[in-house]
């Protein structure tokens, strides 16, 4: 996989280059800030970009704003935000889009090199990989989403199990129904939540976010 890195810490940046090279990936650029990011993407055509949230010159939100811009300009490029921080405003915007693959991992919680490389592979292949702590911090106290009121009790049960990360087969076993029945409920709840079909399977993540945002006691 062709990978571009945007990280201000020289030690971490060079460490990522070595780690990814050793894993068989090609690091096409390693930038200390987001100033030349868009030009680098245009010239090096990466499959995946890894960005920190806080980059020079202000070390506030340059990196994640660049990620939002990147996904708008190059929706075919997968994005992995790797940071110590959850920038709630732009993180929510990133996750709510349905283009390309996306990851948001916290540096302090990446404890295993193998798990990190697996996440890189999955994101590059089109998956959405979110650290649970990122999701937890995004779940601010908002008013109940009116779309949730459209769901039947069985659809709510299916959605709750989706939010736990269960497969259709596991949901069927938990609810003592057939997989065909589960698929029917999932199709219905996606329609009621106004989640359009996409090739990356992000509807499950978006549905789970709606469920978490609106509480789990309904």
pLDDT tens profile 99-143: 558 889 999 888 889 989 999 999 999 888 888 777 666 654 444
Residues of the chain with CATH 3.40.50.2300: 1-138
Q: Is the peptide bond before 57 cis (omega within 30 degrees of 0)?
A: yes
pLDDT computed for residue 194 by the predictor: 82
* CATH for the 1-138 domain, from 2.50.20.10, 1.10.287.1770, 3.40.50.2300, 1.10.600.10: 3.40.50.2300
Sign of CA dihedral 71, 74, 78, 84: negative
The phi-psi region of residue 34 (left if phi > 0; otherwise alpha if psi is between -120 and 50; otherwise beta) is alpha
Q: What is the mean pLDDT of the chain?
A: 85
Neighbours of 197 (CB within 10 A): 11
Q: Collapsing DSSP states into helix, strand and coil, what is residue 5?
A: strand
Looking at residue 218, its pLDDT comes to 40
pLDDT tens digits for range 20-31: 999 999 999 999
pLDDT in tens, 154-199: 998 898 888 766 889 999 999 999 999 999 999 998 888 887 665 5
Distance of alpha carbon 110 from alpha carbon 214, whole angstroms: 28
What is the crossing angle of helices 168-175 and 179-192, to 10°? Answer: 110
- The CA distances from residue 109 to 58, 80, 104, in Å, are 25, 15, 11
What is the CATH topology of the domain spanning 150-212?
A: Arc Repressor Mutant, subunit A (1.10.10)
Of 29, 4, 163, 1, give the one whose Cα is nearest residue 80. 4
* Prediction pTM value: 0.68
Per-residue pLDDT at 46: 97
CATH 1.10.10.10: which residues of the chain? 150-212
Residue 50, classed as helix, strand or coil, is: strand
């Amino acid at each position: 996989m062709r990978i571009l890195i945007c990280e201000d810490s020289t030690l971490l940046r060079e460490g990522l280059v070595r780690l990814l090279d050793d894993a068989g990936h090609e690091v096409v650029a390693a930038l200390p800030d987001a100033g030349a990011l868009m030009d680098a993407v245009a010239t090096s055509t990466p499959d995946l970009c890894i960005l920190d949230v806080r980059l020079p010159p202000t070390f506030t939100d340059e990196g994640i704003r660049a990620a939002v811009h990147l996904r708008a300009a190059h929706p075919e490029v997968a994005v992995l935000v790797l940071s110590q921080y959850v920038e709630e405003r732009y993180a929510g915007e990133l996750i709510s889009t349905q283009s390309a693959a996306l990851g948001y991992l916290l540096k302090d919680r990446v404890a295993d090199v193998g798990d990190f490389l697996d996440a890189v592979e999955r994101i590059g292949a089109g998956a959405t990989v979110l650290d649970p702590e990122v999701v937890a911090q995004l779940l601010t106290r908002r008013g109940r989403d009116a779309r949730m009121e459209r769901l039947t009790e069985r659809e709510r049960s299916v959605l709750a199990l989706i939010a736990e990360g269960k497969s259709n087969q596991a949901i069927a076993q938990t609810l003592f129904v057939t997989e065909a029945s589960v698929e029917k409920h999932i199709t219905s709840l996606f329609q009621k939540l106004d989640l359009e079909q996409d090739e990356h399977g992000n509807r499950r993540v978006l549905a789970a976010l709606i469920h978490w945002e609106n509480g789990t006691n309904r």
